[in-house]
Amino acid sequence: MLFDIIHHSTVINLISCCFFWSSKTRKTIRKKLQSQVNESYLIKVHEKKIARLRSKEKIDILFFVFDDALWPYDDVYTCFKNNDRFDTKILIIPNQKIPEKERLDKMEIIHRNFVNNGYSVESSFNQGEYIKVENADLIFYTSPYEISLPQYSIEHWKHRALTCYVPYGILQANLQQLQYNKRFHNLLWRYFCETEMHKLMSEKYSNNKGARTFVTGYPKADRLICKSHVPKNPWLNKNKDAAKVIWAPHHTIDNGIDFSCFLLYAETIKNTIEELGDRIQLAFKPHPNLRAKLYSHNEWGRKKTDEYFKFWETSPNTQIEEGEYIDLFLTSDAMIFDSVSFIAEYSLLEKQMLFTLKTNDVGEKFNEFGQAVFKQIPKARTNQDVQLFLENPFDKKYSTQIKKASAISQLLYKGNMKSSERIYDHIVKELSK
């Protein structure tokens, strides 16, 4: 293996000296060859690690989490936890993109939520410092973005452990380079994706041609579809006659993606909810990044943002939900949203929904799977559309469209086996050959 690497490196250096090629051509060829060298070495590392683990009595699995709203591994965790061959734990790691006090408070809340749900979980913050993990054989990531500390990054673990990833949301936006071809994706041992359509995108856009991408379905869909899951009731208003509606705005208020309609409808929704009183209970479910985006927004800032969020926390017919949301979806009646992943997830339930449009060309910003679902769902273009929906959330006039969207979203549930079981079975077989 070392000879192969040295040989390839020599070839790369020789190409750099071939002056009959343009500088741009030499650079492109060098980059491609270097990528091949890295890929070959990574494959050898994975093979060596797998061989060692096949004879190891106890295999250590870690799930890295910095936000429980992004957690897709409920049943995956349970599968491994129920097998004595695996020592399975969750580690709460810091989000370095938020201020320290908020970061530590968030970690404490996430830790408490996991403990309350019976998980084996630890915080990476201990006695005033962030711990360094010494041993892990498999690591599951919840995000491709390097926003935590270096000791938890895939760059640190690429040669130390087998790394796995399930997208924290269904990939429907037309952002293939971000979703399939970051360095993170190309370093993974296993990328478990949602559908064959997503597998094809991985093959097309990633440098490694989707070589380690496997279709398993979407684990969050397990609990949305399977009747065996009994949801807890997260609604503060237990009045059965009150409509239980979710509002889930995205965070993209100030960039070219332009999905978020928060700035357009924030006051309309707030005022309408106040007018409707106990006829409705609204759960404000903002994207985890929305608050930080509003803090830095010229027309909002920290004071206005905190006051607005406080309204949803304290009003008699409202609540704020910033963590796990599967049970919230299952026990709701309807949802207003512009969060992209929720299009397919919520349509699985065939409940009333309304997607708010910021611009008329939003549909062009979806990938192939996203466009197929997006074409079917009801859409709002004005404040009046939003207000009418809140006043009549049980209106069934869009039921036919929603059923069509749900039929497409069923692709997320692959066959009779749960997605989480497919992931578990795949890994167990790889480590048992």
Give residue-wise pLDDT tens across range 111-154: 999 999 999 999 999 999 999 998 999 999 999 999 999 999 99
Q: Tell me the mean pLDDT in the region 36-60.
A: 92
* Residues 208, 90 within the same domain: yes
State what percent of residues in the chain have pLDDT above 90: 71
Q: Tell me the mean pLDDT in the region 260-282.
A: 95
CA–CA dist 388, 385 (Å, integer): 5
| DSSP letter assigned to residue 53 | H
* Residues 213, 108 within the same domain: yes
pLDDT in tens, 251-264: 998 866 778 999 99
Would residue 17 count as lying in a domain? no
* Residues 351, 425 within the same domain: no
Tokens of 393: 């959330």
* Residues 333, 290 within the same domain: yes
* Residues 212, 249 within the same domain: no
Q: Is the pLDDT of residue 401 over 90?
A: no
* Residues 308, 423 within the same domain: no
Q: How many domains does one find in the chain?
A: 2
Would residue 48 count as lying in a domain? no
Q: What is the pLDDT of residue 388?
A: 95
Q: Which domain holds residue 76?
A: 55-218+416-430
Phi-psi region at 297: left, alpha or beta (left = phi > 0; alpha = psi -120 to 50) = beta
Would residue 321 count as lying in a domain? yes
Q: What is the pLDDT of residue 147?
A: 93
Q: What is the pLDDT of residue 6?
A: 45
Least confident segment among 40-54, 61-75, 139-153, 410-424? 410-424
* Residues 59, 208 within the same domain: yes
Q: Tell me the mean pLDDT in the region 345-357.
A: 93
Would residue 394 count as lying in a domain? yes
pLDDT in tens, 217-231: 999 988 888 877 889
Q: Is the pLDDT of residue 313 over 60?
A: yes
User: Please, what is the angle between helix 23-54 and helix 2-16, to 10°?
Assistant: 170
* Residues 280, 345 within the same domain: yes
Closest by CA position to 162, among listed 245, 241, 275, 45: 45
Q: Is the pLDDT of residue 24 over 70?
A: no
Would residue 137 count as lying in a domain? yes
pTM: 0.86
* Residues 346, 386 within the same domain: yes
CATH of the domain at 73: 3.40.50
Hey, what amino acid is at 388?
Answer: L
In angstroms, the Cα distances linking 129 to 103, 124, 147, 334 are 13, 8, 17, 43
* Residues 247, 189 within the same domain: no
Residue spans of alpha helices (H) in 315-367? 326-330, 342-347
Q: What is the pLDDT of residue 410?
A: 80
Q: Is the pLDDT of residue 399 over 60?
A: yes
Q: What is the pLDDT of residue 343?
A: 92
| DSSP letter assigned to residue 148 | S
Hey, what amino acid is at 430?
Answer: E
Least confident segment among 2-6, 68-72, 197-201, 322-326? 2-6
Average pLDDT, the chain: 90
CATH of the domain at 286: 3.40.50.2000
Phi and psi torsions of 45, nearest 5°: -60, -45
* Residues 389, 365 within the same domain: yes
Q: What is the pLDDT of residue 172?
A: 92
Q: What is the pLDDT of residue 157?
A: 97
Would residue 116 count as lying in a domain? yes
Would residue 271 count as lying in a domain? yes
Would residue 38 count as lying in a domain? no
Contact 294, 253 (CB under 8 A): yes
Query: pLDDT band at residue 32, thresholds of 50, 70 and 90?
Result: low
